[in-house]
Amino acid sequence: MKMERAFSLAEHFISINGEGQRAGELALFLRFTGCNLRCAWCDTMWANEKNAPHTEASLDMLLGLARDAAAQGVKNVTLTGGEPLLQEGIGKLIEGLIRLGLRVETETNGSVDISPFIGEQRPVFTMDYKLPSSKMEGKMLLTNIPLLKQEDTLKLVCGSKEDLERAYEVIKSYAPECKVYLSPVFGSIEPAEMVEFMKERHLGSVRLQLQLHKLIWDPAERGV
Ligand code: SF4
């Protein structure tokens, strides 16, 4: 009999979505270990090694967590990491969660091809575009950008003025169909400076996003 592959689950919890189009709504978070990038300002480095502390979770276990959350009125599931799309079998998990009637938000780092996960049913993507201060811009898979639709989000995380300038170029060059958010690297750039930049460059369709969980709880707190 074929053994079912286990997912490397770093943590799971219910909290509010700290970012994205459903910011402020309750969500079940499933955080997986392992990431193929090493962003200079990563705030979840502890989960990025594949062998970081984790639970081996089966598909049934994860769907069970989702059913329990749905029974408590939760309508969203956020898949995060690390890089959740690197988990073997993640497509099956996404399908199962969608079948349960949940809105599945997949946070992905911009370097992994999202096309295999776009079929008749698809999750909602919040995709990062890594700017120069991350030192990972060279890993961005640009063919992902045209695949993002209205319900998806392209998140440009800015840690410097140079990042803002580059974000502007990316937005102008690719004119994404999805929502576009500028988000500060916590503690590296003043949000007020970003608002000034948006005003100067007439970025009327772009949103500034502050990570709610970092405002509500200690920025280093886990499981919130
Ligand atoms: S992609 Fe995300 S999880 Fe991976 S190193 Fe960058 S910030 Fe951290």
Give the pLDDT confidence of 66-97 residue by residue, as tens digits: 999 999 999 999 999 999 999 999 999 999 99
Side-chain half-sphere exposure of 138, counting CA atoms within 13 A: 2
Residue nearest to atom 1 of ligand 1 (CA): 109
Residue nearest to atom 3 of ligand 1 (CA): 82
Q: Which pLDDT score, from 0 to 100, does residue 1 have?
A: 53
- 88 lies in a domain? yes
Q: Which pLDDT score, from 0 to 100, does residue 45 have?
A: 87
Quote the ligand 1 centre to 39 CA distance (angstroms): 5
- 1 lies in a domain? no
Ligand 1 pocket member 39 (CB < 6 A): yes
d(CA 221, CA 224): 7
- 2 lies in a domain? no
Is the predicted pLDDT of residue 202 greater than 90, yes or no?
yes
- 58 lies in a domain? yes
- 70 lies in a domain? yes
Q: Looking only at Cα atoms, what is the longest distance across the chain?
A: 62
Neighbours of 172 (CB within 10 A): 10
Q: Which pLDDT score, from 0 to 100, does residue 4 have?
A: 67
- 222 lies in a domain? no
Neighbours of 207 (CB within 10 A): 14
The pLDDT of 152-173, averaged and rounded, is 97
- Atom number of ligand 1 nearest to Cα 81: 3
Buried b (16+ CB within 10 A) or exposed e, 55-76: eebebeebbebbeebbeeebeb
Quote the ligand 1 centre to 139 CA distance (angstroms): 12
What beta strand segments (E) does 33-82 contain? Answer: 55-57, 76-80
- Residue 214 contacts residue 187 (beta carbons within 8 Å): no
Query: How confident is residue 3, by pLDDT bands cut at 50, 70 and 90?
Result: low
Tokens of 58: 């089966």
Quote the ligand 1 centre to 140 CA distance (angstroms): 12
Tokens of 130: 């890594």
Is the predicted pLDDT of residue 122 greater than 70, yes or no?
yes
What is the tally of structural domains in the chain?
1
Ligand 1 pocket member 67 (CB < 6 A): no
Best residue for ligand 1 mutational test, from 8, 39, 85, 107 (most atoms within 8 Å of Cβ) = 39
Tokens of 51: 């062998």
The pLDDT of 163-171, averaged and rounded, is 98
- Residue 41 contacts residue 134 (beta carbons within 8 Å): yes
Contacting residues for 41 by C-beta, under 8 A, at least 6 apart: 133, 134, 157, 159, 185, 188
CATH at residue 59? 3.20.20.70
Ligand 1 pocket member 38 (CB < 6 A): yes
Quote the ligand 1 centre to 58 CA distance (angstroms): 24
Note down the domain range covering 53: 7-216
| Residue 109 three-state SS | coil
